[in-house]
Structure 1
């Protein structure tokens, strides 16, 4: 960004891979938006003659763009980029991955505008993070297949308001049917969401869902031994499976809008005690869970 207030960031869900809808709806993903490392890789390979130590030139390989987008959570419009099954669920069968076109622009000091328009953009990883005392944040790790120069600027971009932001004091957590009132930090991570398919073109042919790996990390003040028992107690025998419990991660903003993530079969892959002997801190229990499935539900006040 060349100066405060000089940038624009918006996305629209594509009708099919790399193809805009006839009348696209453009959305700013949230508040406090940052776009990191908007880069293109040409995958050049050097060509050489056997009698010359310097290269004769380079040939292009597979074209791929990448970027990350983070923002304070204000709504669920971005769910359409992550939950391939109708924007509310992870897929339980092979299917095309959702893709988007992004409009990213910066206004220069001389009044001109420079734009970049990633198309065929797929989300590889999405994280929703809670931190006590802070707004809920989302980060999307994105790959994209092309960057044409003929996409017109959106006539209208739907922007959220400051009142739409989901903050920490509207969050609730339940693991194994037990509320977690002293949660300090939490991250819901969905990785392996999508991958490209390629053929005889430098640009991807399309995108499909990948081998998805949901995970859930919590760090709460220790109040009872349920999570400890799930991670440590040998209730299933030495060769038995690690116990599974459901979990919910609920959010509500000041408008009364709600977003809830329902997590299936949470299994602790690591568990620890932190600050066991610390005069100025409470004992906490960081836990990392493997999760089999995640559903998202929303309600507007």
Structure 2
């Protein structure tokens, strides 16, 4: 049996894929970080990709042979700092890559204390393939990371110390701001900035990946706001009052500020509405809202 306060979740950056961990202050000890607060781990699994082997004279399989090894993990948390950027933005932790390059990788420590002792799993060569930052009116800002990893050895030393955020570091909804084509979304209800296809494995003559490189990245932004002006509707039409043959690109920004005055901001370029809709047009208990899905060309940390 496990319960509240029984788990440990932390990560350390790798200097090279699956290699030694980053020692930022050169004291001989890697830097371990807790990704945020209210941490949840939705998936922590391994796949051996077994394939059955059969003899021609026997209807039952003779066994199975191993395929590629691949682990998966999903971690969600309340936003408290920008340390996770080093896992997501391959170009120095601040930008998406403009040319092919290695993907950032990390080692994770998932530990649990239970009535019969304790257990830990230590994925290495972990890469973030999808990342989403979520805003919701009345709630804290959250981050979701979907990861793949290449190995799970038993020789990773447990963290001697972990940089752990405090409740005062939390970014809440009332510090959020979204601007699209210089128009503030003042009655924003929800917003999600998603980065998909961030990284992929390269494989050779081993069950485990050789390394990881950046993938075919697809940034997107989805918003749902109370309707106050027709700027987003006209953008969905192609920058006009009626549908056009081309959909123009505009820029935008998404930022969050916590109670300590710390700001995390993203520049969004090449925003193009791919879908637009009205909701609650006839509803006496709700305001008319507009839901917009944007393709985004690039995202940078500012």
Q: Shorter-chain-normalised TM-score: which range?
A: over 0.9
Aligned to 2:194: 189
Q: Residues 168 and 260 of structure 2 are in contact (CA less than 8 Å); yes or no, is this contact kept in structure 1?
A: yes
Structure 2 residue aligned with 1:278, among 275, 283, 287? 283
Deviation for aligned residue 1:239: 7.2
Residue 107 in structure 1 maps to residue 113 in structure 2: yes
Q: Is it true that 1:226 corresponds to 2:239 in the alignment?
A: no
| Residues 281 and 176 of structure 1: CA distance in aligned 2, closer, same or farther (over 3 Å) | same
SS at match of 2:57: coil
Q: Which runs of 5+ in 1 are unaligned?
A: none
2:12 — aligned with what?
12
The answer for the alignment partner of 1:85 in structure 2 is 91
Structure 1: how far apart are the matches of 2:78 and 2:266?
17
1:34 aligns with 2:40: yes
Q: 1:198, 1:55 → 2: CA distance?
A: 28
The alpha carbon displacement at 1:236 in A equals: 11
Contact 1:127/1:190, CA 8 A, preserved across alignment: yes
- The runs of 4+ residues in structure 1 deviating greater than 3 Å are 233-240
The correspondence for 1:68, drawn from 74, 85, 90, is 74
Comparing 101-110 with 233-242, greater Cα deviation is found at 233-242
- SS of corresponding position for 1:157: coil
* Offset of residue 235 of structure 1: 4.3
Partners of 2:185 and 2:276 lie apart in 1 by: 16
Within 2, Cα distance between the matches of 1:237 and 1:171? 31
Displacement of 1:202 in angstroms is 0.3
- Please, what TM-score do these two structures have when normalized by structure 2? 0.95
Q: What aligned pairs does 1:202-221 form with structure 2 within 5 A after superposition?
A: 202-221=207-226
Q: How does 1:260-279 map onto structure 2 within 5 Å? A: 260-279=265-284
Corresponding position: 1:245 with 2:275: no
Give the conservation status (yes or no) of the 8 Å contact 2:238–2:245.
Answer: no
- Is residue 20–residue 101 contact of structure 1 (8 Å, CA) maintained in 2? no
* Structure 2: distance between partners of 1:296 and 1:176: 18
1:109 shift after superposition: 1.0
RMSD: 1.4
Contact 1:236/1:242 (8 A) holds in 2:
no
Other-structure match for 2:203: 198
Task: Please tell me whether the aligned partners of residues 238 and 247 of structure 2 are also in contact (alpha carbons under 8 angstroms).
Answer: no
The TM-score normalised by the length of structure 1 is 0.96
Please state how far the C-alpha of 1:240 moved relative to its aligned partner: 4.2
Q: Report the Cα distance in structure 2 between the residues aligned to 1:239 and 1:135, rounded to whole angstroms.
A: 38
Q: Once the 2 structures are TM-superposed, how far is the Cα of residue 215 of structure 1 from its aligned partner?
A: 0.1
Between the aligned partners of 2:181 and 2:200, the Cα distance in structure 1 is: 33
Higher alpha-carbon deviation: 76-85 or 231-240 = 231-240
Whether the 8 Å CA contact 2:269–2:298 is kept in 1: the answer is yes
**Which secondary structure state, in structure 1, belongs to the residue aligned with residue 103 of structure 2?**
coil
Please state how far the C-alpha of 1:245 moved relative to its aligned partner.
1.0
Q: Residue 152 and residue 134 in structure 1: after superposition, are their counterparts in 2 closer, same or farther (change >3 A)?
A: same
Distance 2:109 2:85 in 1: 18
For 2:229 and 2:86, the matched residues in 1 are separated by 37
Structure 1 pair 190–233 and aligned structure 2 pair: CA distance change class (3 A): closer
Alignment match, 2:26: none
Q: Which residue of 2 aligns with 1:162?
A: 167
- Length, aligned pairs only: 296
